[in-house]
Structure 1
Amino acid sequence: MTVADLPKIELHLHHEGAAPPAFIRQLAHEKRIDLSGIFKPDGSYDFRDFAHFLSVYEAACEVLKSPEDFRRLTLAILEESAANGVVYSETFLSPDFCGGGDLHAWQDYLTAIQDAADEAERKFDITLRGVVTCVRHFGPEQAKFSAHCAAETAGDWVTGFGMGGNESIGTQGEFKWAFDCAREAGLHLTTHAGEFGGPESVRDAIHDLGVERVGHGVRAIEDPDLIRELVDRDITLEVCPGSNVVLGLYPDFAAHPIARLREAGVNVTVSTDDPPFFHTTMRREYEMLSEAFGWNAEDFAALNETALNAAFCDEDTRARVKKRLEKT
């Protein structure tokens, strides 16, 4: 068995960003919506930089207009993830895209997504949990609505709250109300930081929002004091190497700091972020990391153990996923 064939845990996956291009094109065809401008001639997503990526992402979401669309999308995502050896995944879901700002609509969308997740677990032996996210560039007031949706649907399936979007807009602290609301509802917390925002954004995420995990967080490598704080606080980084390379943070996998962070004692995990946008899969991430750093099955088993410990799930689910990891 190669490292690519190993069972895997993924903690950082954007639901709409995981939509296969063919799936979005099919929906656009069914709904007679012209999305030709967001695809390359080969059918893949077309974007120039991070800001343009966000625009293309939101354009693709224009065809996702009903609970049934999200049910179909969830099945497509989980079939693809399972084919790449993923046995447990957490997906970022935004009420801004699922229901468009209405709590009752959000609940309908969520029911459809959960139904699809249950079907996928029966068919593909993969477990999914939801992390509700606000969108940073939509602002703190809109984030309050997302937090309210998260709090109202918190439970065994919606287990976390976080924030994605453009790091260059606003500060982590401006979203404190939303994160406090989610925390009071018993949700685990994560937020994107230390991707384009630099190491200081990671420190702000920890101090101002009190998160347990940080999405990306790789720029922490630039600040030794911050690295020590991550270790001392037992913070886990949801690292997405392929995404970081495609978006230009690092020239290639060999230059990526994930190995140095791990050697420094930081909890690191591996995810794909928005896999079809960044031409990656969990299999490819494992292959590229093995090639770049010489990591073997034992290294990836340790990464999965870290991910399992950091997963936003109950202990029964954790035990079930652990058994899947031990099958190899």
Structure 2
Amino acid sequence: MEHVRDAAERDLSRLPKAHLHLHFTGSMRPATLLELADKYGVRLPEALTEALTSGEPPRLRATDERGWFRFQRLYDAARSCLREPEDIQRLVREAAEEDVKDGSGWLEIQVDPTSYAPRLGGLIPALEIILDAVETAMRETGLGMRVLVAANRMKHPLDARTLARLAVRYHDRGVVGFGLSNDERRGMARDFDRAFAIARDGGLLSAPHGGELTGPASVRDCLDDLHANRVGHGVRAAEDPRLLRRLADRGVTCEVCPASNVALGVYEKPEDVPLRTLYEAGVPMALGADDPLLFGSRLAAQYELARRHHAFTDEELAELARQSVRGSAAPEDVKAKLLAGVDDWLSGPGSSAA
């Protein structure tokens, strides 16, 4: 049932929140990608160009391998336009600016530095350029920001171990977690258990993707084999009540990206995303935008989706924001400030009537 908007509802872009699921290239502004493509003479796929100029996200369906390949092709084309340190600095600054506009007080941006290494002088220089850009963006925007280094499950597990060691090495420079992304139908989670052990031993959060393109079993694998503190997506856990209880009991946060789930065909309609099922089971959630470049909506829009399509009240939306903050790697003083801000937002004027 779609929620009827009340003019007195509180502004969701002013609700303090943390953003825990945002991919690096996918955070780019459409206008920035078009400018960079022109700058470097890159011919973008027609579907991507049309989407960027029209403001409508490209038609995607990644529930079969052909569809995922098409999605990955668009993403790779966008990434090929990031060639110089100043491009990285611009992307990070603009991602931070967009998050601030949407009420985010803390952002953990996810990146596989191996994807940028060939054009930025190697793996270590690429990560250092990214971390320098994050430090600059924090100073310029006031947003708390850190990096989650993610391995690619389409590559060899030994590559993941290399990345895990690198991530640990830069823990004190702003790397807070270690992830595992790309098509979860490829590569078993247990193949990457050693990489995640290296990351955990080095003090990093474990935040692999699971429960998006495949079902509850992939979420269980994240818990059993990778000892996940958070699960990227995790929505398919809604199909298994026992798994929901396990996530709730352990306090494992699911980084749920509603608009992305619909855009990629995981669910047909916004109201099909099982936000209510997870919420009422007590599973902590952190709503995220995933890849706004391709999916057309940023952070506050995910909360709006919960309000409009799932009739979340302002009290429930505030609790979602709290859950995102609690699930983050933010320092305790930052968490306390954001949580107090949520309380202030909720105590301000507005109506939560549905």
The answer to whether TM tops 0.5 is yes
How far off is 1:325 after superposition?
4.1
How far off is 1:98 after superposition?
3.2
- Structure 2 match to 1:31: 40
- Structure 2 match to 1:64: 82
Q: Does 1:165 align with 2:174?
A: no
How far off is 1:47 after superposition?
5.5
Among 97, 104, 110, the alignment partner of 2:115 is 97
Higher deviation after alignment, 132-141 or 37-46: 37-46
Higher deviation after alignment, 317-326 or 138-147: 317-326
Structure 2 counterpart of 1:68, one-letter code: E
CA contact (8 A) 1:87 1:324 kept: no
CA contact (8 A) 1:95 1:101 kept: no
CA contact (8 A) 1:16 1:61 kept: yes
How far off is 1:101 after superposition?
10
SS across alignment from 1:270: coil
Q: Does 1:299 align with 2:311?
A: no
Higher deviation after alignment, 138-147 or 172-181: 138-147
User: Mapping of 1:246-257 within 5 angstroms?
Assistant: 246-257=263-274
Show CA shifts across 1:161-200 (max 9, x none).
0111011111110111111111111111111000011100
- Structure 2 match to 1:117: 134
How far off is 1:156 after superposition?
5.5
Q: Does 1:19 align with 2:28?
A: yes
Higher deviation after alignment, 106-115 or 193-202: 106-115
SS across alignment from 1:269: coil
SS across alignment from 1:276: helix
- Structure 1 match to 2:352: none
Structure 1 CA distance, aligned partners of 2:22 and 2:221?
Answer: 22
SS across alignment from 1:11: strand
Task: Please list every run of 5 or more consecutive structure 1 residues that lacks an aligned counterpart in the other structure.
Answer: none
Structure 2 CA distance, aligned partners of 1:320 and 1:248?
Answer: 37
Q: What is the percent sequence identity of the aligned residues?
A: 34
SS across alignment from 1:244: helix
- Structure 1 match to 2:166: 149
Q: Does 1:193 align with 2:248?
A: no
CA contact (8 A) 2:15 2:341 kept: no
SS across alignment from 1:137: coil
Structure 2 counterpart of 1:31, one-letter code: Y
Structure 1 CA distance, aligned partners of 2:180 and 2:93?
Answer: 24
- The verdict on how the C-alpha distance between 1:85 and 1:162 changes in structure 2, with shifts beyond 3 A counting, is same
User: Mapping of 1:202-241 within 5 angstroms?
Assistant: 202-241=219-258
Structure 1 CA distance, aligned partners of 2:273 and 2:61?
Answer: 19
CA contact (8 A) 1:136 1:170 kept: yes
Among 236, 259, 269, the alignment partner of 2:276 is 259
CA contact (8 A) 1:101 1:145 kept: no
CA contact (8 A) 1:39 1:46 kept: yes
SS across alignment from 1:313: coil
Show CA shifts across 1:222-278 (max 9, x none).
111111111222211110111101111112222211111110111122111111211
CA contact (8 A) 1:46 1:56 kept: no
How far off is 1:291 after superposition?
1.1
Structure 1 CA distance, aligned partners of 2:118 and 2:157?
Answer: 16
Structure 1 CA distance, aligned partners of 2:88 and 2:131?
Answer: 10
Higher relative contact order structure (alpha carbons within 8 Å, sequence separation ≥ 6):
2
Show CA shifts across 1:133-153 (max 9, x none).
001112312212221221221
- Structure 2 match to 1:86: 104
Structure 1 CA distance, aligned partners of 2:339 and 2:278?
Answer: 25
Structure 1 CA distance, aligned partners of 2:99 and 2:177?
Answer: 20
Task: Please list every run of 5 or more consecutive structure 2 residues that lacks an aligned counterpart in the other structure.
Answer: 1-9, 63-67, 346-354
Structure 2 CA distance, aligned partners of 1:158 and 1:38?
Answer: 34
- The verdict on how the C-alpha distance between 1:302 and 1:156 changes in structure 2, with shifts beyond 3 A counting, is farther
TM-score for both structures, normalised by structure 2: 0.86
Structure 1 counterpart of 2:23, one-letter code: H
